[in-house]
Amino acid sequence: MPSYIDWVRAFCLTLPHTTEDVQWEHNLLFRIAGKMFCVANMEPQLVPTKIAFKCTPEKFAELVEIEGIIPAPYMARTIGSP
């Protein structure tokens, strides 16, 4: 399992009521009250994203300006390209 999974998992599990689950074969999902807030890809060679998380539209616009941060492929079509 990639090393970034350890620190993502450690952080996510500090949030109250967080649950974790593996879904879609190779994604570690974190949820609060059944709502997904973070997905960590356990097999990064399969897709370009390692970690995807929810954020506000304002934070999204700010984050995608940082080199190396890209919109999650499945969300880019709903939010729009930066």
Angle, CA of 67, 32 and 38, to the nearest 5°: 20
Distance CA(74)–CA(62), nearest Å, equals 19
Closest CA to 29 of 48, 46, 13: 13
Hey, what are 56's tokens? Answer: 């506000």
Amino acid symbol at 31: R
Answer yes or no: are the C-beta atoms of 51 and 34 closer than 8 Å.
Answer: no
Q: What is the pLDDT of residue 82?
A: 43
Model confidence at 74, pLDDT cuts 50, 70, 90, reads low
Q: What's the average model confidence in pLDDT over 42-70?
A: 82
Is pTM beyond 0.85? Reply is no
Flag whether pLDDT at 81 surpasses 50: no
Q: What's the average model confidence in pLDDT over 14-36?
A: 91
Distance CA(29)–CA(22), nearest Å, equals 6
Higher pLDDT, 23 or 76: 23
Q: What's the average model confidence in pLDDT over 47-69?
A: 83
